[in-house]
Amino acid sequence: MVKVVNHGIQESLMNKVIDGTQGFFNLREEEKKEFEGKHVLDPIRYGTSFNTSKEKTFFWRDYLKVFVHPKFHSPSKPDRYSDIMWEYCEKVRQVTKVLLGGISQGLGLEECYLEKTLEVKSGFQIFIANYYPSCPQPELALGMPPHSDHGLLTLIIQNQVGGLQVQHQGKWIHVNALPNSLLVNTGDHLEIFSNGKYKSNIHKVVVNNTSPRISVAVAHGPSLEAIVSPASPLIQSETNYTPMKAFFLGGYVPSEPEMKRSVEGFNGISFVDEEESKDFVSKKRKLQAAKLKKESILAEILFLKQRRRYLLKSQSSDDDNEKNISRFKKIFDAENEVPKVERSNSGYDAVVESARPAFTSKFNSEHHEVGYEELSAGVDVLRMECVPKNYLIDDNNRVGKKELSWHGQVTLKV
């Protein structure tokens, strides 16, 4: 983690971002609920982190996550928040570009090497506003569990209340932010790209019982199209990092350890909680299996079509062949089925277009990235099946449904 000062972003703008964020979390519950995304890929998601299923620690945080690049989204409330977000995200992206240039040079590469290789210009930028209410029993809760961030660099500002801690040599160090500074976390993609020279830092957030804390973390990553591998000049004969897809939702399912790491990272920049991730991956696996099945059926159909053509051509008077032909005819008079399948596939992108999240260039038509039909299909399926998961501890410390903004209602029990 580093602290950046003299970054050129006006203090007044940073204050407006924090005030606007406070304004957002101050909205009435029904108003905020308008932005309560249903699925991890929704471009705007307001929600609450609350996980009691396994751990005995409670996560004490509300959040708003917005995909702001390559396509800009923002909540329509409170007034002017959108403009402020836009201005801040532009500025913070410029700072990130400069930092990445410096990092690239620090690795002995050309200044633009990292930016070009990882297609950062069309990379993702996610605005994550965190609200940690003061907590009656802070020793039993965490704002955010230990994690590393998933992308390249996450730039954080906060109101005057501390709580961020970084792990250093096995110990948790409290981060004292300098006034008007940006706190910068190095992410997993940077660790891979630098072949381990820049480690992604592990951090967590603790809460307190006096003042609510607000932080705004803006995460920056490569184009989701990019395969993140160690920069070739940094590759050594041994101990190389394994390349990974910038975003595993883009058509490939991660291995268990990768999944674990990604989930940790995702918690960090708060894409998903663990259950949601696992659920997503298991659905994606099923979809991939279904896709394979569909492909093999289509291949079989193609083969039978050719065979039919061949048999028709040969015009054999042979009885057996007659029988075969009429059998094939029967099958392929149901040939209409085939164009239907094909039609629905080729139309997929259009159908799902409106549901596409903008953060992922893969799904973003403006960036001409189409064809991830199984993911698109996954999005659709998940949209239908995904139920928001908000929980409340009842008096017997069981877990059940809960409304958002639960902090006031909940008694902590371990």
Ligand X SMILES: O=C(O)CCC(=O)C(=O)O
Q: Tell me which residues touch Fe ion (CB under 5 A).
A: 149, 268
User: Least distance in Å: CB of 161 to ligand X?
Assistant: 10
What's the min distance (Å) between Cβ of 217 and ligand X?
Answer: 4
**CA neighbor of 61 nearest in space, from 80, 47, 81:** 47
Residue 216 to residues 56, 95, 169, 337: CA-CA distances in angstroms? 27, 15, 26, 52
Assigned token pair, 38: 């249903």
220 binds, among Fe ion, ligand X, none (CB under 5 to 8 A by kind): none
129 binds, options Fe ion, ligand X, none, Cβ within 5 to 8 A by partner type: none
Shorter beta-carbon distance to ligand X: residue 109 or 207: 207
- At residue 143, φ and ψ (nearest 5 deg) are -70, -45
Report which DSSP code applies to 239.
Answer: -
In DSSP terms, which residues pair with 164 in a beta bridge? 205
Q: Least distance (Å) from ligand X to the CB of residue 141?
A: 14
Cα(336)–Cα(330) distance, integer angstroms: 12
> What residue 128 binds from Fe ion, ligand X, none (CB within 5 to 8 A, per partner kind)?
ligand X
Q: How far is the CB of 8 from ligand X (least distance, A)?
A: 22
Contacted entry of Fe ion, ligand X, none for residue 158, CB cut-off 5 to 8 Å set by kind:
ligand X
Nearest of 410, 408, 404, 409 to residue 35 by alpha carbon: 404
Q: Report whether 356 contacts 67 (CB < 8 A).
A: no
Per DSSP bridges, beta strands 61-69 and 58-59 are: unpaired
**How far apart are the two ends of the chain, measured CA to CA in Å?**
32
Beta strands at 399-401 and 391-393: parallel, antiparallel or unpaired? antiparallel
- Quick one: 37 or 143, whose CB is closer to Fe ion? 143
Query: 128 or 182: whose CB is closer to ligand X?
Result: 128
270 binds, among ligand X, Fe ion, none (CB under 5 to 8 A by kind): ligand X
To Fe ion, the closest distance from the beta carbon of 388 in angstroms equals 23
Whichever of 63 and 348 has its CB closer to ligand X, that residue is: 63
- The binder of 186, among ligand X, Fe ion, none, by C-beta within 5 to 8 A per type, is none
Nearer to Fe ion, 61 or 362 (CB): 61
Q: Which does 52 bind (CB under 5 to 8 A by kind): ligand X, Fe ion, none?
A: none
CA neighbor of 151 nearest in space, from 254, 225, 246, 85: 246
Closest distance between Fe ion and the C-beta of residue 144, in Å?
7
d(CA 176, CA 37): 33
For residue 122, the partner it binds in ligand X, Fe ion, none, with Cβ less than 5 to 8 A by kind, is none
Q: In whole angstroms, give the CA distance from residue 135 to residue 27.
A: 20
Q: Of 189, 270, 258, 177, whose CA–CA distance to 222 is shortest? A: 189
Measuring CA to CA, which residue among 20, 23, 90, 47 is closest to residue 276?
47
Q: In 27-75, which residue ranges form alpha helices assigned H by DSSP?
A: 29-33
Closer by beta carbon to ligand X, 74 or else 130: 130
Q: Is residue 148 classed exposed, middle or buried when 0-12, 13-18 and 19+ CB atoms within 10 A define those classes? A: buried
- Which residues contact ligand X (rule: CB under 6 A)? 128, 130, 144, 149, 154, 156, 158, 164, 203, 205, 215, 217, 268-270
Closest chain position to ligand X (CB): 215
* Total residue count of the chain as it appears in this document: 414
The minimum distance between CB 203 and ligand X, in angstroms, equals 6
Neighbours of 205 (CB within 10 A): 24
Smallest separation, CB 153 to ligand X (Å): 11
Smallest gap from residue 21 Cβ to ligand X (A): 11
> Which of 154, 194 has the CB closer to Fe ion?
154
Widest distance between CA atoms in the chain: 93
| Residue 231 contact, options ligand X, Fe ion, none, Cβ 5-8 Å cut-off depending on partner type | none
Q: Considering the complex, what minimum distance in angstroms separates the CB of residue 189 from ligand X?
A: 14
CB nearer ligand X, residue 103 or residue 157: 157
Nearer to Fe ion by Cβ, of 188 and 369: the residue is 188
Residue 26, classed as helix, strand or coil, is helix
Rank residues 271 and 348 by Cβ distance to Fe ion and give the closer one.
271
DSSP designation for 137: S
Report the partner that residue 205 touches, choosing among Fe ion, ligand X, none (CB closer than 5 to 8 A by kind). ligand X
